[in-house]
Amino acid sequence: MRYLSTRGHADRKRFCEILLEGLAPDGGLYLPESYPKVDAAALTRLRQVWQNQGYTALAFEILSLYIDDIPAQDLKALCDKTYTEKVFGTAQIVPLKPLQSAGSAKPELYLEALSNGPTLAFKDMAMQLLGNLFEYELARRGEELNIFGATSGDTGSAAEYAMRGKKGVRVFMTSPHGRMSPFQQAQMFSLLDENIHNIAIEGVFDDCQDLVKAVSNDLDFKRQYKIGTVNSINWARLLAQVVYYFAGYFQATQGNDQTVSFTVPSGNFGNVCAGHVARMMGLPIHRLVVATNENDVLDEFFRTGVYRVRGTSDTHETSSPSMDISKASNFERFVCDLLERDTAQVNAIFGEGLSRQGFFDLSADPRFAKAADFYGFQSGKSTHADRLKTIQQVFAKYGVMIDTHTADGVKVAQEHLDPRVPMIVLETALPIKFAATLVEALGRQPDRPPQFEGIESLPKRVTVMKADLADIKAYISKHCD
């Protein structure tokens, strides 16, 4: 298996090379040269693996299709180490929750529970594996890695909890100053491990993400300080997420002649891009529904063909803050497939074109219609009022409390229901992470896992900085020497 850059760089690399690299040398994102295909017989075998051996074995089978430079026994051991009941609180790892009214013949939709990990968010599903992969590969090479990342809320804590104490790894995590929930801030800033560095940037998430890309594109600095990334621009992050699409499908269906749809709350497009990969492999997915909040860059594209990034002043601060993103960095992977791997065109529109114009328009390109017709994408938007209403509705009708991002997903999913096709909404976090909005909606505090009692009052360590590339580089240099 070899990987190529979405922007056409000549190199073809193996998995462990891109694991530690992040962006390609030309600023592109890595994709496999082709997606391995899962035919009917292979899908039946994977269903049996899921039923008889569980999530860990399923993860090993799917990851093995993309990773051929880690010995099979080592990869299996990494999966066994990562996906345990102790870490994720349930032997199923990602149990499916039917939302079914009393007297109804079948569920209206399903929630796939992805938030049972250490930081109560779906990011743990990939980040726990990534931490173990990093530690394994760095030990094999006798090297160290300095992770420079950006978070709008959940990636940061998931990365830090996965990397804390890992040998040979330091984490420098940027986040938008004051724009995460108090619980999210406490999760990150209360980690006092020596290898964890939190940097609050005066700006929005996109400013943080721009810094990560700028550092990654400075090849000399990147090599000197061995910079890697845990953001979803890292292919390993996205690959790990492909597994739970298969697990959700097997739980919602009885046989492989059925299709399902997934609705995915999305800001950076990484989570739903994993669904795209699963669908390209042959998983019978009918629709991939992208749910946005008021920062509706992705919804606008799927409705109109225009991808228009917003500046800091036009990025809304919302009650689903992990989706307060106006530059969906993972989107480039899907557009590369949409444009039939025309890497020259991808380079033209995502390179200088997007930074110069601030938008691109594919509405007149005949290939744009394939986004829905061939790739199965649909989309919708949710607002604060929608979130409150949906949280209230789901609690009253099903007795289930959901967080604000999952509420965005449920709201949009309800607009795209097909009685013939099960709809699975990917749960993104537990409600306690966004308690203020849950109190506003339901008049009560959400349940808090015992290990997080009093987390907001713990000592915190964070450095507030401006979105200045030179200052960021100086900070990294100081703490690496």
Read off the pLDDT of residues 15-57 as tens digits, 9 standing for 90 and up. Answer: 999 998 878 999 999 999 999 999 999 999 999 999 999 999 9
- Among 273, 269, 158, 148, which residue's Cα sits nearest to residue 214? 148
Q: Which residues contact 20 (CB under 8 A, 6 or more apart)?
A: 134, 137, 138, 143, 145, 226, 228
Helix (H) / strand (E) containing 158: helix 154-163
**CA dihedral over 366, 289, 242, 451, signed as positive or negative:** positive
- 287 has pLDDT over 90: yes
Q: What is the mean pLDDT of residues 288-310?
A: 97
Per-residue confidence band for 103, with pLDDT thresholds at 50, 70 and 90:
confident
pLDDT of residue 118: 93
pLDDT of residue 405: 97
pLDDT of residue 401: 97
Q: What is the mean pLDDT of residues 438-464?
A: 94
Locate tokens 């009885």: which residue? 254
pLDDT of residue 166: 87
Per-residue confidence band for 476, with pLDDT thresholds at 50, 70 and 90:
very high
Active-site residue, from 13, 97, 123, 222: 123
Per-residue confidence band for 277, with pLDDT thresholds at 50, 70 and 90:
very high
Per-residue confidence band for 101, with pLDDT thresholds at 50, 70 and 90:
confident
For the chain, domain boundaries: 96-118+236-442
Name which CATH class applies to 96-118+236-442.
Answer: alpha beta
Are 5 and 57 in contact by the 8 Å Cβ rule? The answer is no
- Helix, strand, or coil (residue 129): helix
pLDDT of residue 312: 84
- Helix, strand, or coil (residue 194): coil
Helices (H), 331-468: 331-338, 343-348, 354-357, 370-373, 384-398, 404-414, 435-442
pLDDT of residue 155: 87
Rg (CA), the chain: 21
- Cα-based distances in Å from 8 to 25, 43, 330, 449: 10, 32, 16, 47
- Among 296, 318, 287, 302, which residue's Cα sits nearest to residue 387? 318
- Annotated catalytic, 123? yes
> Percent of the chain having pLDDT more than 90?
90
**Mean pLDDT of the residues in the chain:** 95
Are 109 and 413 in contact by the 8 Å Cβ rule? The answer is yes
Per-residue model confidence as pLDDT tens digits over 192-221: 999 999 999 999 999 999 999 899 889 999
Q: What is the mean pLDDT of residues 454-474?
A: 96
Distance of alpha carbon 477 from alpha carbon 471, whole angstroms: 10
The structure's pTM equals: 0.94
pLDDT of residue 233: 86
Locate tokens 């997420």: which residue? 241
Question: Residues 299, 272, 233, 139: what is their CA dihedral angle, to the nearest 10 degrees?
Answer: 160
Per-residue model confidence as pLDDT tens digits over 244-274: 999 999 999 999 999 999 999 999 999 999 9
- Among 29, 22, 39, which residue's Cα sits nearest to residue 8? 29
